[in-house]
Structure 1
Amino acid sequence: MGSPSLFKITSLNLNGIRSATTKGLEDWLAQHAPDCMGVQEVKAQADDVRGRFDALAGLRGYFHFAQKKGYSGVGVYSRHEPSEVIAGFGVPEFDDEGRYLELRFDTPARRFSLISAYFPSGSSGPERQEAKYRFLDVIYPHLTALKAQRDFILLGDVNIAHQAIDLKNWKSNQKNSGFLPEERAWMTRLLSEAGLVDVYRRLHPDTTEEAYTWWSNRGQAWAKNVGWRLDYHLATPAIAALARRAEIYKAQRFSDHAPLTVQYAFSV
């Protein structure tokens, strides 16, 4: 278990929960023992999860599945029972795709949410890029309104590399989804005007190659560390100030993403 003074939280895009668990994810969870883990791209339905993946290494799973089989879906595995579970953020186009799950842990001392979110990818073509822009347009006011009410950490595959240090080949990717000027400007706005904090960058402001969390399955991207930093902890300032240590685990591969773990000096 995480110590009473440090709350250990992991985010990981699974690229399929069945695939990730065949690669040793459950043993890793037992060994590293996070208090909570946000997961994205579950690529399963309730019937697939029930009795097999509804708990992993002592963590209970909560999920928001996509209507489409084998697609998207997010979840949070937690050692602690939430006071409320909210699936979706009120926008049918994206709620149907299973992209947002919020667990609330409310006590007299703190109103706190842990969110697992999977932002759309626009890499498959213009239609999906437009969907990505629509998602950014609607998630922004939702997060700003939530920030006015409570502290939270959004764990997720945001599918945006914010700065040039966040991907290997930034010069050749300036016209590609994930590093488009409009996407990067959205992230800048979220961190400046909306006031959320990129927790990894707060702890490691200058890290380059070690910061990557995703590698294409094409070519030798993993072997050559031609990666992107697409996975984030985005937190309200009071919570971000409690972040003590961040680690990207690369000794094993459970998917095309690496687990991003941050330890915070608080408990729920």
Structure 2
Amino acid sequence: MRVLGAYVPSRDATLEKTERKKRWIEDFHTALDATKSSVPVLLLGDLNVLEPDHQPEHRRQFAPFEYDFYRALTDRHGLIDAFRHLHPDRIEHSRARRSDLGYRYDHAHSCAQLLPLLQGCDYVHQTRDVLADGSRLTDHSGLAVRLATTATTPLLTSDPATTAPCEPEPTLF
């Protein structure tokens, strides 16, 4: 399985940041197309875009190219929104300035091959809780994805500090 992490740049109304985001999206599509293989893919990240039917609607904040990017994950790359697959009607937000202004920016998209193994895809909102000192870890919720998988090959583990040169490639475990 390939697990891909992505942070799509945010933007404001300036031409510079809008063009930066458009270039990033174009480069992302090119890279994903170039590395396409039969290996199952799970894409995770802060995509800084909402699904087209997001509630509440934030239509004026997002441009058509941003919604096109979201749709292209499925239409072009065959990746399905894992949260929406398991929870077709649930309204949940991974970032909120106020309780009535939530955004689901953080996503997990899976190839169809992994969907039968998908056991859960849920937001962990405690990551945005305010701590005793007034700080918080982040303004985004975490996203937990659970897959029922079985290793097909054993993971070689070693201590990189003590591995001899003739041993298998060292790992950090």
TM-score, normalised by the number of residues in structure 2: 0.74
Cα offsets for 1:84-143 (capped at 9, x unmatched):
xxxxxxxxxxxxxxxxxxxxxxxxxxxx21122111111263211111011111111322
State the one-letter code of the partner of 1:241: P
Q: Distance in 1 between matches of 2:66 and 2:127?
A: 30
Question: Aligned partners of 1:125 and 1:212: how far apart in 2?
Answer: 26
Computing the radius of gyration from Cα coordinates, the structure with the larger value is 2
Match of 1:235 in 2: 110
Instruction: Among all aligned residue pairs of Structure 1 and Structure 2, give the percentage whose two residues are the same amino acid.
Output: 27
The corresponding residue for 2:96 is 215
Matched, 1:188 2:63: no
Query: Once the two structures are superposed, what CA deviation does each residue of 1:178-236 show, in whole Å capped at 9, x if it has no partner?
Result: x322210221122123211111111111212xx210123xxxx1xx2421011111222
Are residue 139 (structure 1) and residue 20 (structure 2) matched? no
Q: Give the whole-Å Cα distance in 2 for the aligned partners of 1:190 and 1:249.
A: 23
Q: State the TM-score, normalized to the length of structure 1.
A: 0.49
Specify whether residues 145 and 206 from structure 1 end up closer, same or farther in structure 2 by C-alpha distance, changes over 3 A only: farther
Q: Are residues 267 and 226 of structure 1, via their aligned partners in 2, closer, same or farther at CA, if it must alter by over 3 Å?
A: farther
155, 176, 184: which one aligns with 2:44 = 155
Moved over 6 A (4+): none
| Cα shift at 1:149 | 4.2
- Given the alignment of the two structures, is residue 249 of structure 1 paired with residue 132 of structure 2, yes or no? no
CA contact (8 A) 2:2 2:40 kept: yes
Larger % of strand: which?
Answer: 1
CA distance in 2, matches of 1:151, 1:252: 29
1:1-268 alignment, distance < 5 Å: 112-123=1-12, 125-165=14-54, 167-168=55-56, 170=57, 173-176=58-61, 179-208=62-91, 211-216=92-97, 221=98, 224-253=99-128, 254-268=137-151
Higher RCO (CA-CA < 8 Å; seq separation 6+): 1
The unaligned stretches of length 5 or more in structure 2 are 129-136, 152-173
